Structure 1
Amino acid sequence: MKILLIEDEEKLGLFISKALEESGYSCELSTNGSEGLELAAIGGFDLILLDIMLPGQDGFEVLKNLRKFKIETPVVFISALNETEHVIKGLDLGAVDYLKKPFDIEELKARIRNVSRKFTGKRATILSIKDLELDLVRRMVSRNGVEIDLSKREFSILELLVRNTNRVVSKTEMTQKIWNIEFDMGSNVIEVHMHQLRKKVDEHATEKLIETQVGFGYLIRGELIKN
């Protein structure tokens, strides 16, 4: 499950992101309402966790614009605004849930599981390109029917590449979306993970799927099928 967290308190956002990733979710953090809206429009997220008091545009405006742009991703508000009027407004705008801060991280996970049960059947849970298949619910990968054992980070990288089929994903974009940090030009963390991912996904396959675009990033070509 791919989650977009729009939360301007960076420490809290990083804490939530880490906790969700440790539970097997893929989580991307944005600290600005306008930026979060842009990410939601292109990111293929399964769920958006949305604060209300945000720079750029507040959470209510973000949700209004999501629906205006026909983006139907389920939204759960997480906010310190805990008056009944705020909860009612959020739900009336189309949020599927409203969680008041402060909250227990286990309660948040339970809310996410509840949303997943309600909406999984309405969204694609299997992504396929050629003989590669990603099961987004079980977080499993296979090629030609043979299961491939990936780490959580490797799965997130592969999912990012597959969701952006036929588009080069830069190292900067990868570090920001997978690690939620700025890209360090002196680091080889991307190369290390890509080497391991290639060994698992491509080494024993007739057709190599993951391409390196020297100086730009990484690419998978093909027709993406969503089921």
Structure 2
Amino acid sequence: MDTRDHDTAHAEIGADRLLGLLNLLVIDDDPVQRMLITGAAEKAGYAATHAASCAEGIALIQQRPFDCVTLDLMLDDGDGSDVMRAMAGAHYAGPLIVISGMNSERRRSSRALARSLGMDLLQSFPKPIDLAALRISLANIRSNVAGLPIVHSWGEVCGPRYEHG
């Protein structure tokens, strides 16, 4: 490892310890999807909280702050747009990632709704989710928070991460 690589690695570890885990809210009624999203999030340096319904997601958004939210557009008890409106009403200012089995037109309309509500919808992924792409998106958010560049290597994410221990 040359000196530049060594210095970059030390800067990243220092930022990791300072930054810690970011908080992600996963709103999806499918337990398998929640598990997959959580796995990708943990690899990107997030602690995930789950909501299995619109009502649960809205309640969590109103109770505590999150650094990022992933949202399914079609939930058992309502529509993701209801959650987005509640997020705007709760003054949620973080990034939003839509992960939905809805068609691309419906995902595009969710982007327009987010924009009209003053929210930052970063990505809109179809289901089944590309976990590597999700992990990279989450790592990019984390990197921006830390003020560090992100490096992608062989489908894995290198850069700011949380070291346990």
Q: TM-score, normalised by structure 2?
A: 0.66
Instruction: Give the drift of 1:113.
Output: 2.4
Contact 2:26 2:49 in 1 (8 A): yes
Instruction: Give the drift of 1:138.
Output: 5.2
Q: Which residue of 2 aligns with 1:98?
A: 124
The CA distance in 2 between the partners of 1:22 and 1:107, in whole Å, is 12
Q: 3-state DSSP class of the match of 2:108?
A: helix
The CA distance in 1 between the partners of 2:43 and 2:141, in whole Å, is 19
1:6 and 2:27 aligned: yes
Contact 2:45 2:142 in 1 (8 A): no
The CA distance in 2 between the partners of 1:138 and 1:42, in whole Å, is 27
Q: Deviations over 1:46-91 (max 9, x none)?
A: 000000111233111100111122222211100011232x122111
Contact 1:14 1:29 in 2 (8 A): no
Which structure 2 residue ranges, 5 or more long, are not aligned? Answer: 1-21, 115-120, 148-159
1:89 and 2:109 aligned: yes
Q: 2:64 is matched with which residue: 43, 46, 69?
A: 43
Runs of 4+ in 1 over 6 A off after TM superposition: none
Q: Where do residues 174-189 of structure 1 align in structure 2 (5 Å cutoff)? A: none
The CA distance in 1 between the partners of 2:135 and 2:64, in whole Å, is 21
Instruction: Give the drift of 1:117.
Output: 4.3
Q: 3-state DSSP class of the match of 2:76?
A: coil
Contact 1:3 1:25 in 2 (8 A): yes
The CA distance in 1 between the partners of 2:107 and 2:93, in whole Å, is 20
Q: Where do residues 22-101 of structure 1 align in structure 2 (5 Å cutoff)? A: 22-84=43-105, 86-94=106-114, 95-101=121-127
Q: For this pair of structures, how many residues does the alignment match?
A: 126
Q: Deviations over 1:85-117 (max 9, x none)?
A: x12211112222211111221111112223344
Across the aligned residues of Structure 1 and Structure 2, the Cα RMSD in angstroms comes to 2.3
Q: TM-score, normalised by structure 1?
A: 0.50
Which structure 1 residue ranges, 5 or more long, are not aligned? Answer: 123-136, 141-149, 152-227
Q: 3-state DSSP class of the match of 1:102?
A: coil
Judging by fraction of residues, say which structure has more helix: 2
Q: Deviations over 1:196-220 (max 9, x none)?
A: xxxxxxxxxxxxxxxxxxxxxxxxx
- Larger Rg: 1 or 2? 1
Task: In structure 1, give the amino acid aligned to 2:99.
Answer: I
